[in-house]
Structure 1
Amino acid sequence: MTTRRRKAGEPTAQKREAHVQEEEGDRPYTRVLLQGALVICSLLVIRTFVDFEEKEYGQLATINEDIPHRFIEVGCSSDYDKEKVMFKGCIPSICGRVIMDHIVTREEAAKLLDVAKKGLSLGGSNGGASILDLHSGALSKGDKFVDIFSLQKTKSINIFTEDDFKLYTRVKDRIQHTITAEFGIPREKLFLTNPTFFSQMTTKPAQTVHDEYWHPHVDKETYGSFHYTSLLYLSEYGTDFKGGRFVFVDKDINKTVDPKRGRLSFFTSGSENLHYVEKLTSGTRYAITVSFTCNPQRAIDDPTLR
């Protein structure tokens, strides 16, 4: 592996809420998420890694560093071979991991954190991992999902604003442009894909397999459509939470990324970038996973206020 730099009778409110939860739990998007697309690590495609937690750690990006641009090239896996002709010009020819601290400002990240907290205030998993997906409306609530937009209508509230969605879309566009520039992809060949979501991780004991975010996995296997994965961190390692570092699992030594507010990390989604998130030991960790595909049939639209 080499490191290099490049440029770049009206029922009560309680009964109404229960009705929404029961009704929304059977939505198609919920079934998709329950099959492997909740949070970052589904158990459906867990790789068996002996003693992966006991391996020595190397630091890829620490909380005290200011990183304008860091590119770590890794050899591409064979995961993309069957798609090279079909999605020519988009499938990775160079694979790697990129860290940038100034693509999204800390102020923008703080506003997005507020969006995440507003949405998650209406739900939250019984376990340690919750999501808010503004595209599908999926919100973790208890041991299932509800539609946050239906839930808002039931409660006669609207916690989001047009500005929230405009900011979300601007940041997504900036991340997409950065990825296409970094990997030499024509902008029109890369598409936002599902699931793209806010995540909240806490120290609550896991209640379902979807709460167990700490297992190594490969995004392209877990989610199918992914070719490029990005993570925008909204809270900070060591201040807002402990544990919870992002870990790339490599043959000889694991590489860690400390979450930092406004830090953008993105990477090719194949098995060259097997990864997991450490268990939190205190606090609450917030991030956004923004996912991209080369397959136009798996593209999703920007979210809109409903």
Structure 2
Amino acid sequence: MAATLDNVAPLSRCLPLSPFSFIFILCLLSSLTLNYSFSSPDSLQNTGNSANGQAGLLPPYDGLYLAGVRAYFAEEWEKAVEYLERSLQTRAALDRVKRSCLAGCALDGFGSEAAAGGDSLSDLKFFWTVLRRAECLLFCERNQLEPTARSAVSEDVLADFESRNPYNYLQVAYYKLKKVEKAVSAAHTFFVSNPNHLEMKLNLRNYRKMKGVKEESFTDLESKAHWFQFDAALLSEGQGDFLAAAEHWEECVRETLTAINECRALCEGPYRYHGEESHLTDKRDLYQSTADHFLQVLSCRQSCVSQVATRPGRISAVEDFLPSIFEHLHFTYYKAGRIDKALESVRTFLLFYPADEPMLENLQYYLQTAGGAAGQAVTAREEISAFVNQSLGEKKLLYFGVKNLGITFNDPDLWTPESVIPESILEEWRSEKDKRRSEKGEENKGDQADFIEGGALPLPGVSVSQDSLSLNGSLRSVLDGVLNPEECGAILRLAKAAAASGDGYRGRRSPHTPHEKFDGLTVLRALRLSQEGFVSQLDARLFFDAGERARLLLQSYFNSPSPLYFSFTHLVCRAAVPGEQEGRVDLSHPVHADNCLLEPETRQCWREPPAYIHRDLSAILYLNEDFEGGNFFFSDLDGKTVTAEVSPRCGRLLGFTSGSDNPHGVRAVTRGQRCALALWFTLQETQADQERKEAESIWTEILEEDGRSVGEEGKEERVAESNDPIPQPPRSGRLREGARERRRERVGWRDEL
């Protein structure tokens, strides 16, 4: 059950970062917020003593974390738990203290005293206010934090906490102390943020098998309230309970604004240098330094929208997160008969997109339905109006910095209006925005836009036995007769002689279930073994050619808009482990999609790495049926509702689009061995499988040395097996050795069908 943690990065503290008393900048930032409320240092004096639930000052959380990691590797489990738990609690308390001090030291209370300075020069008045705020912040933090806790922690520690690594240690320590319920919660919390962590995935699988472990123990201890409400709202919508959905969406709005404001408050930290920059080489004067730091903090504030809209464990944020909530709200209120609230939601959405035609039409409908005076009295929400105005004010300053000071700003919002963009960079901004919208549209248009089912079958003897209609889905089909029994037998013979345990699975012989053993073989490895005389060259070539048959058939049948390129080809056999089948309830391969990360709870599929987002078509070419179980099935996005099932048989080709339209899995193989060619195709030539190109190049050289053209080898021997011509791939040159070796490191460890 031990976690795999090879390296623990050293913890270090950063040197002071900014010249000219950068504390001025913290004050300047707060002077530009919308709302202020001043609390004197005296009123903040005692807040630190209760921040961590006991008398005294908050210690540095990275020191506690280091102590916990040391105790972990010393196998002092109780100490490890104590220090790791305290590090998590202290970090949360530290964030609360910082937010409290920044809010308590707002600038309203300093205005009149600044004037009392008696000097008419505006810069002295301003810096008098700055100095008072600096005094307030310093006093506040000194009364609640130890001196070392006020220093910046290393990037390594920040990364560990962002990735929830303390919970990785905690789950093992809890398990060693026989606190299984806590171990389960810690493991689940870590896994939510690291869904591709294989060891933790296996740990969770083992925890579920343990007696006495309750489902409620699989809890995310770091869950965000707005995501809980978001998921609950989607669920209620799907069930047709629109009043409940509206309540959840309302709470989601409140929690989202709270999360954004909490994130923004923590942006007012020390200046962060980039690349070779450091405080030792900083030559900027007071105003240049202040401007750069100020714009850096504004950029951080703007990025909070994306941070809050990104689920744990995901890379991409939900685009237009806050506006999309009001789209849902207008719909749910309309379905619930609350026209006044639907109208309010539409007006609020139009704060972000004032020219959105569908919403403007909705607005007119609601105004007519509500009646003249009553409809006009309904306005957009004040808190969202304030949010939009503040965001626009910050964007104006940031784009001024882009134009005149050379800063870089990645605007997280698609709704940013052109009015805040300086004329000199407007065309570049438009181009970038159009590109971003285009990329988003390509991602969201689904599989339907690229392919059309029903094209011709270019090989004789092949027939369509099931199409999308009979398979209860879209862009999925079963073609029979692609291989004959003799050809299936030849490739099975190759698999028996050359397939390696765990090939294609990073060497793991049972990557998806301990009840089955997985063997695999790639086209390049088969070719090399044939060159060395270990396997038949004819069998290795047939393996290569079978993939090309599948490519030509699917390219034609699905009317591909451009040529299909191989993304990966893998001969994979999964065999039932004798004595491990009784009472088995798992799958041979869990439900998944091939180019996006399936999230059954929300019925979404995220097309982002580590998913193979370049995949467009998937296929399986079956080789045998003399086993039990192992049926392929399609499911709904919930990962539970089976929509269609396909039984393997020799020469049967199953093809389907790789995305969210076709989640799928494989039922348990309970006896015998199931073998098939797993194939993936892409429309992007740059993503073509370089290993297959290398194999093709070697085949070409072999045949040219023998005085034959590609496709002539073994022709006489194959006439007896099949009269069908075997289509051959286009010729290509060999890769450079260095490129080939780099590519070889990447291929061979895809998830298989």
* Same-fold status (TM-score > 0.5): yes
Q: Please report how far the alpha carbon of residue 254 of structure 1 lies from its aligned counterpart in structure 2 after TM superposition.
A: 3.0
Q: Please report how far the alpha carbon of residue 170 of structure 1 lies from its aligned counterpart in structure 2 after TM superposition.
A: 2.2
2:533 alignment counterpart: 158
The CA deviation string for residues 62-113 of structure 1, in whole angstroms up to 9 with x for no partner, is xxxxxxxxxxxxxxxxx9942699xxx9933564111111122222122111
Change (3 A) 1:285 1:279: same
Name the CA distance, whole Å, in 2 between partners of 1:249 and 1:133.
28
The equivalences for 1:229-268 within 5 A come to 229-236=618-625, 240-250=626-636, 253-268=642-657
The equivalences for 1:221-300 within 5 A come to 221=596, 222-236=611-625, 240-250=626-636, 253-300=642-689
Q: Please report how far the alpha carbon of residue 165 of structure 1 lies from its aligned counterpart in structure 2 after TM superposition.
A: 3.0
Question: Where is the helix percentage greater, Structure 1 or Structure 2?
Answer: 2
Name the CA distance, whole Å, in 1 between partners of 2:440 and 2:651.
30
Q: Please report how far the alpha carbon of residue 161 of structure 1 lies from its aligned counterpart in structure 2 after TM superposition.
A: 3.1
Equivalent residue in structure 2 for 1:219, among 591, 594, 618:
594
Q: Please report how far the alpha carbon of residue 235 of structure 1 lies from its aligned counterpart in structure 2 after TM superposition.
A: 1.2
CA contact (8 A) 1:80 1:270 kept: no
Name the CA distance, whole Å, in 1 between partners of 2:612 and 2:491.
24
The CA deviation string for residues 12-66 of structure 1, in whole angstroms up to 9 with x for no partner, is xxxxxxxxxxxxxxxxxxxxxxx97x9xxx99xxxxxxxxxxxxxxxxxxxxxxx
Letter in 2 for 1:175: A
C-alpha RMSD of matched pairs (Å): 3.9
Name the CA distance, whole Å, in 1 between partners of 2:443 and 2:660.
15
Name the CA distance, whole Å, in 2 between partners of 1:158 and 1:212.
37
CA contact (8 A) 1:244 1:278 kept: yes
Change (3 A) 1:213 1:223: farther
Q: Please report how far the alpha carbon of residue 180 of structure 1 lies from its aligned counterpart in structure 2 after TM superposition.
A: 1.0
Letter in 2 for 1:173: E
Equivalent residue in structure 1 for 2:565, among 180, 191, 199:
191
1:176 alignment counterpart: 551
Indicate whether 1:130 and 2:509 are aligned. no
CA contact (8 A) 1:83 1:91 kept: no
Letter in 1 for 2:567: T
Letter in 2 for 1:159: F
Letter in 2 for 1:132: G
- Residue 271 of structure 1 aligns to a residue whose secondary structure is coil
Name the CA distance, whole Å, in 1 between partners of 2:519 and 2:614.
19
2:343 alignment counterpart: none
- Residue 592 of structure 2 aligns to a residue whose secondary structure is coil
Q: Please report how far the alpha carbon of residue 116 of structure 1 lies from its aligned counterpart in structure 2 after TM superposition.
A: 1.3
Change (3 A) 1:84 1:172: farther
* Structure 2: runs of 5+ lacking an equivalent: 1-194, 203-438, 454-473, 503-508, 597-610, 703-753
Q: TM-score, normalised by structure 2?
A: 0.25
1:59 alignment counterpart: none
CA contact (8 A) 1:246 1:276 kept: yes
Q: Please report how far the alpha carbon of residue 241 of structure 1 lies from its aligned counterpart in structure 2 after TM superposition.
A: 1.1
Change (3 A) 1:101 1:182: same
Name the CA distance, whole Å, in 2 between partners of 1:106 and 1:185.
29
2:576 alignment counterpart: 203
CA contact (8 A) 1:228 1:292 kept: yes
1:144 alignment counterpart: none
2:495 alignment counterpart: 116
The equivalences for 1:13-162 within 5 A come to 81-82=441-442, 91-92=450-451, 95-120=474-499, 123=501, 125=509, 127=514, 128-135=516-523, 137=525, 158-162=533-537
CA contact (8 A) 1:80 1:91 kept: no
Aligned residue-pair number: 208
Q: TM-score, normalised by structure 1?
A: 0.57
- Residue 481 of structure 2 aligns to a residue whose secondary structure is coil
Moved over 6 A (4+): none
Name the CA distance, whole Å, in 2 between partners of 1:131 and 1:299.
24
The CA deviation string for residues 246-279 of structure 1, in whole angstroms up to 9 with x for no partner, is 0111375431100011111111111111000001
The CA deviation string for residues 173-226 of structure 1, in whole angstroms up to 9 with x for no partner, is 21111111111125x6210012x21111122359xxxx9743100011243332
Q: Please report how far the alpha carbon of residue 282 of structure 1 lies from its aligned counterpart in structure 2 after TM superposition.
A: 1.1
Name the CA distance, whole Å, in 2 between partners of 1:278 and 1:244.
5
CA contact (8 A) 2:634 2:664 kept: yes
CA contact (8 A) 1:192 1:290 kept: yes
Name the CA distance, whole Å, in 2 between partners of 1:212 and 1:80.
34
- Residue 118 of structure 1 aligns to a residue whose secondary structure is helix
Change (3 A) 1:274 1:160: same
Letter in 1 for 2:560: I
Question: Where is the strand percentage greater, Structure 1 or Structure 2?
Answer: 1
Letter in 2 for 1:248: F
Name the CA distance, whole Å, in 1 between partners of 2:440 and 2:653.
24
Which protein shows a greater Rg? Answer: 2
- Residue 595 of structure 2 aligns to a residue whose secondary structure is helix
Name the CA distance, whole Å, in 1 between partners of 2:449 and 2:555.
9
2:145 alignment counterpart: none
CA contact (8 A) 2:501 2:519 kept: no
Name the CA distance, whole Å, in 2 between partners of 1:157 and 1:294.
34
Letter in 2 for 1:243: G
Name the CA distance, whole Å, in 2 between partners of 1:230 and 1:116.
19
* Structure 1: runs of 5+ lacking an equivalent: 1-34, 44-78, 139-147
Name the CA distance, whole Å, in 2 between partners of 1:99 and 1:178.
11
Change (3 A) 1:268 1:81: farther
